[in-house]
Each structure stands twice: as C-alpha cells, then as structure tokens.
Structure 1
Amino acid sequence: MDIRDQLGKDLDAADKAGGGLQTVSAEVIDVTDRGTVNLRMGGAELYDVACTDAYRNRKAGDTVAVRRGVVPVVLWRLGADPADTDEASITEVAKDAAQDLIAISAFTWGTAAPGGGYEEVTTLWAKKDGAGKGVLYAQMTSVPGTSPEAPATRAPKTVTISPTDSGTWRRGRPDDYASSPTQGDWTGRGDRRGAWFYGTKIADACAGKSVKAMTVRFTRKRGSGVNGKVKMRLYLHDHTSAPSGQLDLDAGPETLLSLSVGAQGTATLPAAWRTALASGSARGIAIYGHGRGDYAAFTGGQLTITFTAS
C-alpha cells in the first residue's frame, strides 16, 4: 500500500476514535539503498522504515518524528532549518558547473577590420590549465588600459570511478559462493576477504593533478550477518584485476565506516591511502574481518576523487 494512503487511513481512523495522531521521536541509524531508514526508537531497532516525502536530505544521526502503528512511518526531521546546508550544497554544484564556462564575453569575425576599441594582436599564446580548459594570452603592440584580470586557476572537475570487477577470497583462492565482497566468517569455514578492482583508472585520473580527497561509497548487503551495524575492516591492495590465487592485502585495517543492513555510506580515505592510490603503488580497496562479529557483505565501491588547483 502507498505510504500516503496508509497515513490517510490511519489519520482517519485515529480521528474517529478521538485519539488523534500519535507520534514519537527516534534516531536514524542509517539510510538504506531503498530510501527507507533504520531507526533506534524506544530502546529497540527498527529496519526499513518508510518515510514521507516531507523527510528530505536523509542522513544517519537525524532525529525524526515517527507515526506509531503496525506500519510505522517517518513523518519529518526534528531540528534546525536545513536552509544553510542546502545553500552550501547548491553553491558547490554551481561552482562545478561554472568550470565549463569560457571567460570570453563575445567571439566574432569578418573580412574587414573591426571598429574602434580593438587592438591588434601580434602574438597569441595558448595553454591548458589544470582543469583541462584552454587559456589564451595576447601580446599587443599597445594596450588601451589595464589587462582584464585572469580568472583564478580552477581545480580539475571531480571524477567518480566505478570498479571494473569485485570478488571474495577464502583460504587463498576465489570464493565462488559469495556473490559480493564479503568479510568475516559466519559458518566456521574460514574468514573471507573481499575486494574491488579498478585497473589503472585511479592513477590515470590523478596523473598530473593534486588530489584533495578520495571517498568510497558502499552499501551493506541484506541477508549477510546481523541486522545491526557492522564495522568495515578496510585495506588497500595492489591488484589491477582479480587474482586467481590469494588476494594480497596492503595498508590497513582502517575502520572508516559502520553500516547496518541495507544501509549506504561513504568512507573518506586517509591521506596516505589517497597518495598510494594516486601514484599507482596501490590499485584498489579490500575488506577482511574475523569471525561472526565482522561478517558482512557489501556492494558499491564507487570512488570519488576531488582535486585542488595546481
């Protein structure tokens, strides 16, 4: 049943009963891949709770109002006005889009000389800036005044790289029984280690650029281990593709992210890790945990790279 239909029926039933709408507050544990949320409410944890359209920009840690009932629904977020946060995110999007603009107000031509106000260019130089955009410099015999200010050097545009492959290893060889990268051990048959592979795409994207940050986005797979939060035990690896033997682990572990079942999250990689990935000394991301407490499977692995102006 549609959430709005269910909410309408519950409101109508509550009104007829004279009880009104009963709501309670709850804390969002995680936002899932379905747009639902996992909640902590009254000392208990609820998973895959639906939300009305009024609850936007959902994130872990939010305090929300929940309509109680057989089918609980998150109604809205409690707290400060998110306008400032929205303004900042919109500004960032606008800056990114502005990188595609060319800093020339007009470009015309013809067979005759131009009218007044133009100066003849004796030599024209061109180069490509760090963002891959063209830059022109004109040398003139005389100039009518101060040169227009050159635009500030812009950072290269943000890049998102998807894995070319992924897999799981157990006891030194690929584990065909795991359909997604998995860590830990649920059955007592040995700890698993999983990985995402990118070929040389990460180093290629970073060549000649200064990396500001790298983040990786994951989703906790449903039906793998306990429903509550499980810590991702993250490592680097140096494989460009899936090995036929053991998956080697390099730097790690780093516990950068904890996800409950179905949840999505983003891990910000340490400076040393982004340096290793940008240089090519490391090629991808791996996970490796021990026992039932660390057991979980994950999908995703999309890696986003932001740069600084060179």
Structure 2
Amino acid sequence: MDEAELWGAELARAGRASSPRQVTARVVDVTAEGRVNLDLLGALVPDVPCTDSYRNRAAGDWVAVQLGARPVVLWRLGDDPAEAEAATVTELAQDAAQDMIAVSAFTWGTGAPGGSGWQTVTQLYTRKDSNGIGQLYAQIGATDPSPPTTPTRPPKTVTISPTASGSWRDGRPDDYASSPTQGTWTSRGPRRGGWFYGTAIASACSGKTVSSMKVKFTRKRGAGRNSRVPMHLYLHDHTSPPSGQLDLDDGPEELLRLSVGAKGTATLPASWRSQLASGAARGLAIYTTGSADYGAFTDGRIVITFSAS
C-alpha cells in the first residue's frame, strides 16, 4: 500500500462521514508518471492519480479532490484553459512549419510559360539554411527587384540527452548510488552527482545564436524526505565520468525545487548557457552537505532553443 492509500485509509478509519466528499487542494508537483503530489488538508500526499479531464497539470494548480480509500484529483479549478491551449497549438504549428517549403504554383511543359511576367533564369543557385532546409536563388538577366524576403527562421530546437550520469563520494565514483545524488544521509560524507554529454552541447550550438537552455529533471523516490528540496546545481568540464573526483565549477544555483517523484524544468542562467555553448563547460552537477536537501535525481535532458542569426 502506497502513501496515498495509507492516507485515504486513515481518513476512512477516522469515521468522517459528515465531512464533504470533495475538497480543494493545491498541487505541489507533477510526477514523471503524470500523478500529482498534493498539499491536502495540511499534509503532503504523494502520487495521487488524476482523471483524464485534468489536463496540462502543473505545480501550483488548485484542484478538486474526491476523498476516499484513495484520493483522486477530478479537475482543475480556475479559468477556462482554452487560451493557454490555443497558444500551445500555435507554437507546435509554427515549429512544424519550419520543415515545410511553400510554393505558390508548380507547372511544366515543353514550351515557354503562358501569361505575362515570366523571366528567364540564367543561373540557379541552392544552399542549405541553418535548419538544413534547401534554399533556391534565381539569377535573371533583367533588372527587377526580388519579391519580399521571407524572414529567416531560427534553427530548430534540439534536445541533448546525457550519455552518462552518476554519483561521487570521497573523491571517487560511488558504488552505492547509481543516480546523481546530493547531500549526506549517513556518516560516510556528502555525495555529489553529475550528468555528462560529451561534446554534443557545443556541437549543437556551433554557428548558432542560443536564446535559451532548459534542463529537465525528475526527483527519484526512496532517497531523502518526501518534501520539496532545492537542487544545488553546478557546471563541470568533464566530457565523461571521471575515475577520480567530479570537479565542480560555477555554482551553486538553486533553480528548481522538487518533491519526491516530481518532474520539473529549470532555465539555465545566460552565463551558463554561454559556457556550455562554447565548450568551456561540458555538463551539470549537484552538490550540497547535510541531510536537509538530500535527494537523488534522474533525466538531465537539455533543451536548446535558438534565435535567428
């Protein structure tokens, strides 16, 4: 029986038949499986399932909860989400349009084209733009201004997954913690964790202007307290896991707080994305001392967006 079921059973045993069957609660975090951790009647209740009608789940939402042997989130309270969903659909459509090339008309034949305005092309040139999409340029013999130039689209967003990750303690890899971990839980001393990307980040950014870098993390279950803890993030300059100590560079930055099982996204500072894009830094690490912020984390995908050059 998990913690949500235990909490529901405790409510049932308390004999609260006269209390409302539905209550409101605040979402603390969303888990990697799509469940939510709730601040429910003053207690942190993790891994509460949700109905399909509760879409676009996010920390901070106020929701209606059906009480029982196992609490269930029914729906979000608040404004109609239609506007937010419309913006998301528009963003997805614009991203898909980057892979499309529009041509107003395409015909062929054995003779010259009919109608007015046609011009003979003396040379035809082609190249790939920053997105790898072909461009055509027609050189003509007459003096005629070109049509309006299509605005240059930024390069497509890329996602870089770590090639390796792990934990270190006492200056060497930790045999007892496979996931990146921060803090001290036993008397053996503090752990530090790292994510490694080889040279993939700098390669993806080469010749492009980076507008943002975001990194996705998930808080691992069974490591530390259930309540939210901050990730103490650092940069490092390793392309792969070191056999000795994992060195820490710039940091710490507390960009994200996660409760047990929760997923979240942190936006990296401008100075950090510059170092990662140039290759001066190669990856991310976590480190702290003490047990207050002890926790283990997985994922580590970095999402890089670019601006038009």
Structure 1 segments unaligned to the other structure (5+ residues)? 1-17
1:1-310 equivalence runs, <5 A? 22-117=21-116, 118-142=118-142, 147-310=146-309
Whether the aligned pair in 2 keeps the contact of 1:21 and 1:67 (CA below 8 Å) is no
What is the one-letter code of the residue matched to 1:37? Answer: V
CA shift, 1:215, in A, is: 0.4
CA distance in 2 between partners of 1:172 and 1:21 (Å):
55
What is the one-letter code of the residue matched to 2:114? Answer: G
CA distance in 2 between partners of 1:52 and 1:280 (Å):
44
What is the one-letter code of the residue matched to 1:134? Answer: G
CA distance in 1 between partners of 2:84 and 2:161 (Å):
28
CA shift, 1:136, in A, is: 2.0
CA deviation digits over 1:192-213, x for unaligned, max 9?
A: 0000000000000000000000
TM-score of the superposed pair, with normalisation by structure 1:
0.90
CA distance in 2 between partners of 1:83 and 1:169 (Å):
46
CA deviation digits over 1:234-269, x for unaligned, max 9?
A: 000000000000001111000000000000000100
CA shift, 1:112, in A, is: 3.7
CA shift, 1:128, in A, is: 2.9
CA shift, 1:105, in A, is: 2.7
CA distance in 2 between partners of 1:241 and 1:280 (Å):
14
CA distance in 2 between partners of 1:36 and 1:128 (Å):
44
CA shift, 1:69, in A, is: 1.7
Count of residue pairs brought into register by the alignment: 292
Structure 2 segments unaligned to the other structure (5+ residues)? 1-16
CA distance in 1 between partners of 2:148 and 2:278 (Å):
35
Whether the aligned pair in 2 keeps the contact of 1:183 and 1:295 (CA below 8 Å) is yes
Taking a change above 3 Å as real, the CA distance of residues 45 and 137 of structure 1, as seen in their structure-2 partners, is same
Which SS does the other structure have where 1:235 is aligned?
Answer: strand
CA deviation digits over 1:53-97, x for unaligned, max 9?
A: 111110000000001122111000000111111111111100000
* Structure 1 partner of 2:13: none
Report which stretch shifted further, 65-74 or 109-118: 109-118
CA distance in 1 between partners of 2:107 and 2:88 (Å):
36
What is the one-letter code of the residue matched to 2:215? Answer: V
Identity score, percent: 65
CA distance in 2 between partners of 1:215 and 1:105 (Å):
38
CA shift, 1:119, in A, is: 1.2
Which SS does the other structure have where 2:47 is aligned?
Answer: strand
Whether the aligned pair in 2 keeps the contact of 1:165 and 1:198 (CA below 8 Å) is yes
Report which stretch shifted further, 172-181 or 109-118: 109-118
CA distance in 2 between partners of 1:111 and 1:196 (Å):
61
CA distance in 2 between partners of 1:109 and 1:244 (Å):
64
What is the one-letter code of the residue matched to 1:300? Answer: D
Whether the aligned pair in 2 keeps the contact of 1:103 and 1:151 (CA below 8 Å) is no
* Structure 2 partner of 1:13: none
* Structure 1 partner of 2:11: none
What is the one-letter code of the residue matched to 1:275? Answer: S
TM-score of the superposed pair, with normalisation by structure 2:
0.90
Report which stretch shifted further, 203-212 or 134-143: 134-143
CA shift, 1:113, in A, is: 3.3
CA shift, 1:19, in A, is: 7.6
CA shift, 1:108, in A, is: 4.4
CA distance in 2 between partners of 1:84 and 1:300 (Å):
30
What is the one-letter code of the residue matched to 2:230? Answer: K
CA distance in 2 between partners of 1:49 and 1:104 (Å):
50
CA distance in 1 between partners of 2:49 and 2:187 (Å):
35
What's the C-alpha RMSD, in Å, of the aligned pairs? 1.7
What is the one-letter code of the residue matched to 1:291? Answer: G
Whether the aligned pair in 2 keeps the contact of 1:130 and 1:153 (CA below 8 Å) is no
